[in-house]
Structure 1
């Protein structure tokens, strides 16, 4: 089945080019030229990915993303102005899965889109087990739901995949480049804070009272550990 992508960008020329590039890869695209229309599209139809421009008149991309996350976990690739680090970080904090600075090479855009579509293609994803557990944390890979102490934790698709990878490597160091390759589908580059922001979001959702915590190993990466055991080793 062809993948369904929604392009939300007020730049009709760029949107047309994006549609052309993606259609050449047998990816079906719909277009919306403002945030409100884009939200209406997402309420009416399930998409595999949304390409969302930040700079739009009326409801800008960040407000659109904030509202979208109230009712959908669809993967979102933000289109940002090159150098606008604040917008990139805020977009990730609001639930974007990745960002692509403008202007961009169409091959890079296609690579990013394909990487996101691949990792969210759950029907073809192989899992060692349908259930992953650590203490009171339970991840159900059939429903893609996460519970801690019986309480459901709302995660974006990317946050879910970060947690699953850390849980699969429970107690072991996972470096940033490995996380970037496995989850974001690309090599980490200097000054890219994408992983830091995703991990920060995940920490907040795990809550301080949780028995698990994500430890930062400065200059190396992250480790998912039992909080009490970690504290006893200090």
Structure 2
């Protein structure tokens, strides 16, 4: 069964080209030209089966992509967890950072190579579906923190922590290697399957979001520690 994508993009010609290219790889793209109709496609009168991923342009005629991303994450039910790949203006890292802080799973600057877009989409979809039915994986437990890798949920003291799919994978990567210092490159390679751009600091934004979700005091973290000049380590201590 092919994956279903929703592309929210006001450039109809670009959307048609992307849809045709991705269609050759077995991906079906539904196009919406503005934020309002895109949100309705996710949850509203037009809503059908949820897409497997949303490709979201930053610049839209009725509202910007950042606002659309924020509204997606505030939806009720499974719609709030749909992965979002944001298309941003080239050379504007602030838009990327804000997008990640609002819950986008990844970003791609315009103009982009269709092959890179396809690779990013496949990486996100691969993280969500293992492509098989493996045996149940034991949950990771660190005091009040529990990470259920099969259900893809994180709870702290019984309360569900709000993480995107990408942030969940980052947390698992660290927790599975508790006590081991990992560089940013090692973390990103484990999650994305590609090396980190030396100037890409999106991982730091994600780590801040994860800390806000699982730490009692995100400014003085006890679980995810920064090793200055190196990367991050997930502490083994119990609370």
Unaligned runs of 5+ in 2: none
Instruction: Say yes or no: does 1:70 pair with 2:78.
Output: no
When the two chains are superposed, the root-mean-square deviation of aligned CA atoms in Å is: 2.0
Which residue of 1 is the match for residue 34 of structure 2? 34
Residues 182-210 of structure 1: CA distance to partner in whole angstroms, max 9, x if unpaired? 21332101211111111111011113359
Give the 3 Å change call, closer, same or farther, for CA 74–122 of structure 1 in structure 2: farther
Which residue of 1 is the match for residue 224 of structure 2? 214
Distance in 1 between the 2:171 and 2:226 partners? 14
Distance in 1 between the 2:27 and 2:50 partners? 14
Which residue of 2 is the match for residue 232 of structure 1? none
**What TM-score, normalized by structure 1, do the two folds share?**
0.91
Q: Structure 1 residue aligned with 2:139, among 131, 136, 155?
A: 131
- 1:1-234 to 2 correspondences below 5 Å: 1-43=1-43, 44=47, 45-71=49-75, 72-122=80-130, 124=132, 129-209=137-217, 212-226=222-236
Residues 17-67 of structure 1: CA distance to partner in whole angstroms, max 9, x if unpaired? 110111010111111110111111112231111100001111110000000
Q: How many aligned positions are there?
A: 229
Contact 1:131/1:141 (CA < 8 Å) preserved in 2? yes
Distance in 2 between the 1:52 and 1:178 partners? 28
Give the 3 Å change call, closer, same or farther, for CA 157–14 of structure 1 in structure 2: same
Distance in 2 between the 1:157 and 1:177 partners? 19
Give the 3 Å change call, closer, same or farther, for CA 148–88 of structure 1 in structure 2: same
